[in-house]
A and B are shown apart, each in its own frame.
Chain A
């Protein structure tokens, strides 16, 4: 029978109980929205982590189309103690993708709740459902000729604003800190009640997407990277499209230049001369997104030598570090700031500035410029071809925007990765005061030995960075329990106290960010 169960059950749930829940899901949602067959669930399980797929295999996937259905699903899950892992568009590549955090969890896929509820071109905000993608929103804005600009992560065309914001993802425009631009959310709680944050609880309010704070405690943040509710609507601010957009790249040839680059950029960011989330990307990141593969240069196993890295620089014209930034505003504003920026780089005495006119359609400049101007693309998926084999785990420690700190982190990461036979493929995303140091730990999942090395490497990265006082801001589901420990017992106690209060049956995404009433012992 085509709909035969795939044999996976939620933790602590017996077959008969699970089948009762599935019958209720079918009655609520219709057969076509309850997936239990292995070939229906397989696409949810293409994980990129250093463990077997079996550890993240779902027992079922259900799709909802309305908030009322989400409430119904929560009710059924409470009745049968079924853990449910919610995804919006499911494009959290390298952080767990669409797979559940724990084996057997039922996936609640909100891809069909994809209505753009409102875009206000005057007040410059949007209100969307979970399944809306940035690509869909981009098309909507273009079709309506609204003078607005989106900010999104690299899988821009297919990822969505709700999921990315709830996971505290970042983009590359002046609105690149996405949670900072969030304004108002609707959350289905574990008891089925609906909470609207900020001004959303006030009947008749027209400021839900205007004023973030409302009255009393501000609750929005506690629902991000958490499992206290299911977010069904999200409001966020949109940047007015500037009359002039001027992207540029600065190419640096020496790995040691990172210190000076950061020291030069920080005042420009804090002063607001450069408004957007600047990227400082290393050679392997840029080469792979431009179509270069490791096998083009070497078939030797292990990490790629510095000699080969220099050879790639020579043949591609890319730098050891490649800075991408943009100026936004009127022509007068851009002209003034361009002079400040070029003077600053000139004072360094190193670094080649490349303008859009000089770069033309060359990759990776083209996709970087698109990301900084809110044009969706998928070019960064080329990263996965550098080594091949489907393994990708983002290691994303936070750093001070201080040159010496960035240099120290880059050296430490590279030495640990190379020790395990893997490459440092990294970039810094530059905020005024902090850096998201994002490293793609790429490995070949077809090779069990390399997969084991990647796992050991990721653990060592976490351990060694922690010894220096560093921690990651986000991590894939394989390592969320480990990372939660880095942030201390008191924080974890509070998180679990909130969980007990809001979700006593522990049905919402147990294990998310290490919050799991069944596992945490205090």
Chain B
């Protein structure tokens, strides 16, 4: 799968995207939403509380690293109330920052709620259910479920590219190395991907 970022940045609209494959639409809308933020601010990736990232999470982190390199900040979240309260304070900050992640449903529920409570802007929110045979996506925004369909389950490359777009929406796609993420292992899991804009909104 290859994404023409110039195309998606210039011409993406929900009605156009609905006609594309979901994965393509995912990237397009993610890029459009994320591009509304300035690209120079720090990017924080929230990670699950597991000791070792799953293959899906690893693919996502690869994309974020490819976009931000060592400037990328990682932060683990878990169900400890003090962790969620601290996150909410971060999300309420006036300092401009992009917070992205690929979390399990329970933690994602808490993060989205913390974003609401903090008054942060949710620029991207999507459900992903990965089974050995298919990947189901459901892309959500404030008005409508933009689309809901399936993609090829044999590769996790879409996650790498999704993270790359969320972490650096204006970078050229050539910046993203072609990472081989096919695997013989049956990959499964349920995740929520998100991008939250923190700080004062960019009116430019």
Residues of A within 8 A of B (CB): 1-3, 6-8, 32, 35, 37-46, 48, 52-54, 57-58, 63, 89-91, 93, 97-98, 111, 135, 157-158, 295, 299, 376-379, 381-385, 387-390, 444-448
Contact = CB atoms under 8 A, between A and B. Distances in A.
Contacts of A377: 79, 81
Contacts of A32: 119
Interface string B162-204: 0000000000000000000000001011111000010001110
B79 A379 contact: yes
B19 to A, nearest CB: 18
A45 B142 contact: yes
A446 B203 contact: no
Given A381-B110, A446-B128, A43 B116 contact: yes
B131 A299 contact: yes
Interface in B109-154: 109-110, 112-113, 115-117, 119-123, 125, 127-129, 131-132, 136-138, 140-145, 148
Given A2-B202, A44-B116, A38 B142 contact: yes
A510 to B, nearest CB: 20
B145 A388 contact: no
Given A158-B110, A389-B105, 11 more contacts: A8-B142, A39-B33, A39-B121, A42-B122, A53-B145, A158-B113, A295-B188, A378-B80, A381-B110, A389-B129, A390-B108
B143 A385 contact: no
A46 B104 CA distance: 15
B105 to A, nearest CB: 4
Nearest to A52: B145
A157 B104 contact: no
B107 interface: yes
Given A381-B106, A383-B106, A448-B148, A39 B81 contact: no
A383 B109 CA distance: 11
Contacts of B145: 52-54
A158 B113 CA distance: 9
A387 B131 CA distance: 12
Contact of B142 (A6, A91, A295, A444): A6
A2 B201 contact: yes
Contacts of B36: 2, 39
B89 interface: no
A57 B84 contact: no
7 contacts: A40-B119, A40-B142, A91-B113, A157-B85, A381-B106, A385-B105, A444-B190
Contact of A98 (B113, B125, B129, B189): B113
Contacts of B191: 388
Nearest to A138: B81
A388 B104 CA distance: 8
B131 A42 contact: no
Contacts of A58: 142
Contacts of A383: 106
Contacts of A52: 144-145
Contact of B121 (A40, A54, A157): A40
A43 B120 CA distance: 8
A38 B116 CA distance: 12
Nearest to B115: A43
A442 B163 CA distance: 28
A388 B189 contact: yes
Contacts of A448: 138, 148
A7 B84 CA distance: 32
Interface in B68-124: 79-81, 84-85, 104-110, 112-113, 115-117, 119-123
Nearest to B117: A111
A236 to B, nearest CB: 21
B17 to A, nearest CB: 15
